[in-house]
Amino acid sequence: MNIPDIIIAVDGYSSTGKSSLAKKIARKFGFLYLDSGALYRGVTLFAQEERLISRLGRIDPALEKALEGLDLHFGSDGRLFMGARCIEQQIRSMEVSSQVSPVAAAPFVRAWVDGKLRLFGSRGRIVMDGRDIGTAVFPQAQLKIFMTASEEVRARRRYEEMKAKGESPLLEDVVKNLRERDYIDSHRDTNPLRRADDAFELDNSEMSFEEELAWVQGLVQGKFGIL
């Protein structure tokens, strides 16, 4: 398919498979994939290491100034780096997952991340996944997908993913974390998680990766008249 230089936004709830689908779309269309959640996770790890967030999730206002000196960037293989250190594994830990949503609710954190995301997106041909890509970061995105799946399917996926990485989480902790994050993400004041009016909704609870990708290709063909 000869795809125009568009931005594709993939938003949705935790563990709905946004990143898996977005990566597949990127590979298929030759686009760049960008994981906005990784940046929120990177800021959270930074806040934890600098002791700028308490155990209860209270953010020290000094984090805003500290972010000026923070270097978060993606390596060529898509892994996240803090300076010279690859932090890809650490940012996926339960410790980071348990504090990322309060951190991501802080308006100054969102402004910092948004600045980076918009720079990446300025040249088009990207697929970005997150919570507010189609509503706030790139409201002009030419194709928006909003993903959902049943809570049971989502928890099971995240649980298996963590086990495959050698972690041993409790399924109930995984469920609790998904619920908490979805609640905070949908109820925060600044750019909460919601479906953009012009987004196409995809419930992939019972779909295979091949079916999902075929669904997206169908959308692109229909929307841009490409055969």
Contact between 134 and 11 (Cβ < 8 Å): yes
Residue 51 C-beta: closest distance to ligand CDP, Å: 21
- List residues bridging with 73 in a β-sheet: 81
Our finding on whether 144 is near ligand CDP (CB under 6 A) is no
Q: Fill in the per-residue mask, 168 to 187: x = in contact with ligand CDP (CB under 6 A), - = not in contact.
A: -------------x---x--
**67-102: b (≥16 Cβ within 10 Å) or e:** beeeebebeeeeebebeeeebbebbbeeebbbbbbb
In the list 9, 22, 26, 104, the residue contacting ligand CDP (rule: CB under 6 A) is 104
Alpha-carbon distance 43 to 186, whole Å? Answer: 20
In the set 42, 121, 130, 134, which binds ligand CDP (CB under 6 A)?
130
| Contact range with ligand CDP by CB under 6 A, out of 36-44, 69-77, 142-150, 204-212 | 36-44
Q: Is 188:102 a contact under the CB 8 Å cutoff? A: no
**Tokens encoding 134:** 């189609």
Which of 40, 74, 146, 159 lies at the binding interface for ligand CDP (CB under 6 A)?
40
Site residues, ligand CDP (CB under 6 A): 14-15, 19, 36-37, 40-41, 100-101, 104, 130-133, 181, 185
